[in-house]
Each structure stands twice: as structure tokens, then as C-alpha cells.
Amino acid sequence: MLQPGLSENEMTAVTPALDAVASKEPAPLRASVRNLNFFYGDNQALKGVELPIVEGKVTALIGPSGCGKSTLLRCFNRMHDLYPGNRYQGEIILYPEGINIVAPEVDPMLARLRIGMVFQKPNPFPKSVYENVASGLHIRGIRNRSEVDGRVEAALRQAALWDEVKDRLQESAYGLSGGQQQRLCIARTLAPDPELILLDEPTSALDPIATAKIEELMDELRGAYTIVIVTHNMQQAARISDFTAFMHLGHMVEYDVASLIFTNPTEERTRSYITGRFG
Ligand SMILES: Nc1ncnc2c1ncn2[C@@H]1O[C@H](COP(=O)(O)OP(=O)(O)OP(=O)(O)O)[C@@H](O)[C@H]1O
């Protein structure tokens, strides 16, 4: 169990312990949140948050409305920098270099280029299916036509969308269904091969069949990608996450192997939330 204020040594000591429960294999970290505070002006939305992000695993953030899940997710790609008055304190360390991506001297573009994000509502660009997926490659200076073609196809295949769109690559993305648009947004995120993928309630605007497809997809991406997902859906978190973090009122209350959080949480607040007694 993580408690606020763990040092780096303590954090790395905790992770193998968690992993011993999960898979008995070592667990390299892709990122680690350390004593993170975040302020919207005078409103402190995150309070001393600690969270390890294990490489190649799915970490779910759960908690009642307003607890800070989306705020935490948006710190990872410095989205809050787009609005004046927002302030970070503390660290989100990205490995292997160990850079603190919320440090003021670090360019927010660095985080945005290395960390991909998928939002609640599918938000394709008003462009063709092909251009949507190619756009992230173009931004990174990848323009060689055959390389771009190959990576667009690979990303669409990874997002389980290729068979449905291979004959309409030049058509507008707006012609796709909501579920297809969301898989397109995932393909757009995957194409540049991000080090971390953030998903903010990616299925909340989708029907059960489209939701099941996205969940299957996440299962397939596990291992190759490191994923952090915010979800309100407890069954979804239990189904798809390897690790689950429960937040309340801006605090990280409990983090553990998902199977433990959903069967035998340590904290009473976690138990109340997952059994539907509040939130
Ligand atoms: N732009 C903003 N300006 C000021 N306060 C904000 C802003 N966005 C969010 N907050 C506040 O920060 C806190 C955390 O909000 P956040 O959206 O991160 O919660 P959440 O857990 O993602 O909620 P939900 O599950 O409802 O999406 C809340 O008290 C919220 O009112």
C-alpha cells in the first residue's frame, strides 16, 4: 500500500511487492507521481498524490465525481498549462530518463509528444480517416510517404479498425460511427508510438457493443503500451486494469493490484465506494 510521501527507494521497494502479488515478475516503472499538488487558482484539486505507473500495465483511476481523476490525468500531458492561474507542485517523473514533466522549465510539448491522450467524446479532426492517423506523425516530422502509409495501417490494425475503414481511408472521419471514431482516436494516439497513453472515460459516450470493442482493444494493447484510464464504471476497472488507484477529495486513498482493490481493499472509504455506498 502506498502512503503519501514515499521516497524513491521506498517506491521501488513497494512496486516489486505489488508485482509479487500480481505476476511475480519485476515491474519497471514508466512514470511515477510524487507528492503532486495541483491548483486551479486558489482551488487545490490534488493533494500530495503518489502513484506509480507500471510499464506495460493498465492502471485505472477511480473515485467519486470531483475527486480529481481528470485533473491528475491532465497533469501528465500538461493540458492545464493552456489556462492561466493553474499551478503544479511536486513531480511526475517519466522514465527512463527520470525527468520531472511538470517542472516549469520543462517544455509542455515534450510531454504532449511523448504521452498520448484519448478523451471522453470521440474528437476526430475534420479530415479524412487517413489524415487523422497521419497527423501525429506529420507533427513529429515523419513525412516519408511509405513510412507514413505503413504506420497508419499498423495503427488502424492495432485499434481493430483497419478492416472497417481500409476502403474508405480518404473519406471524412465524421462519416464513421461513434465507436469507430473513438477507435480512430485511439489509432491516432498509437501511430506515433507514445510512451504512455491516457484515456479519460473513453467509453462513456459509447453503446455496450462499442464499449466491449474498446475494452478488448485495451486488453490487446496491454504489454506493448502503458495505459492509464479514468473510469466511472467499476466493472470496467475490475475487468481491464492491472492496478487500480482510488481517489477521494484530491487525495490518493489507496493503490493496489486491481484484484485486491475489488475484493479486499484496505481502506474503508475504498470499500464504501466500490460497494456503491457513496459516490
Ligand atoms: N477548470 C477548473 N477550474 C476550477 N476548478 C476546477 C476546474 N476543473 C475541475 N475543478 C475542480 O477540481 C476538482 C477535481 O475535478 P476533476 O474534474 O478532476 O474531478 P473528477 O474526479 O475527474 O470528476 P468527474 O468524475 O466528475 O469527471 C473538483 O472540485 C472540480 O470542481
Determine, yes or no, domain membership for 225: yes
Determine, yes or no, domain membership for 6: no
Q: What angle do CA 129, 135, 136 make, to 5 degrees?
A: 125
Q: Is 71 in the pocket of ligand 1 (CB under 6 A)?
A: yes
Atom 6 in ligand 1: residue holding the nearest Cα: 40
For residue range 40-80, list pLDDT tens digits in order. Answer: 999 999 999 999 999 999 999 999 999 999 999 999 999 99
pLDDT at 191: 95
pLDDT band at 207 (very low <50, low <70, confident <90, very high): confident
Q: How many domains does the chain contain in total?
A: 1
Contacts of 107 by beta carbon, 8 Å cutoff, 6+ apart = none
Give the span between the Cα atoms of 58 and 221, in whole angstroms. Answer: 9
Determine, yes or no, domain membership for 260: yes
Instruction: Report whether 65 contacts 53 (CB < 8 A).
Output: no
pTM for this one?
0.89
pLDDT at 5: 33
Determine, yes or no, domain membership for 69: yes
| CATH code of 214's domain | 3.40.50.300
For residue range 232-255, list pLDDT tens digits in order. Answer: 999 999 999 999 999 999 999 999
pLDDT at 224: 92
Give the span between the Cα atoms of 192 and 213, in whole angstroms. Answer: 22
Q: Is 146 in the pocket of ligand 1 (CB under 6 A)?
A: no
Determine, yes or no, domain membership for 103: yes
For residue range 130-160, list pLDDT tens digits in order. Answer: 999 999 999 989 999 999 999 999 999 999 8
Determine, yes or no, domain membership for 265: yes
Q: Identify the H or E element spanning 89.
A: strand 86-94
Q: What is the ipTM of this complex?
A: 0.98
Residues 194, 120, 277, 270, Cα dihedral to 10°: 10
In this structure, the number of other CB atoms found within 10 A of the CB of residue 109 comes to: 12
CA of 48 to the centre of ligand 1 (A): 16
Atom 25 in ligand 1: residue holding the nearest Cα: 65
22 has a pLDDT exceeding 70:
no
Mean of all residue pLDDT scores within the chain:
89
Atom 9 in ligand 1: residue holding the nearest Cα: 71
Determine, yes or no, domain membership for 166: no
Atom 7 in ligand 1: residue holding the nearest Cα: 40
Determine, yes or no, domain membership for 147: no
Give the span between the Cα atoms of 264 and 266, in whole angstroms. Answer: 7
Q: Is 65 in the pocket of ligand 1 (CB under 6 A)?
A: yes
- Distances in Å between the Cα of 49 and the Cα atoms of 199, 206, 229, 253 are 19, 30, 16, 9
Q: Is 68 in the pocket of ligand 1 (CB under 6 A)?
A: yes
Nearest-Å Rg of the Cα atoms of the chain is: 19
Q: Which domain holds residue 239?
A: 29-124+194-275
Which atom of ligand 1 is the closest one to the Cα of 73? Answer: 18
pLDDT at 13: 42
Give the span between the Cα atoms of 168 and 175, in whole angstroms. Answer: 10
CA of 250 to the centre of ligand 1 (A): 9
Contacts of 103 by beta carbon, 8 Å cutoff, 6+ apart = 91
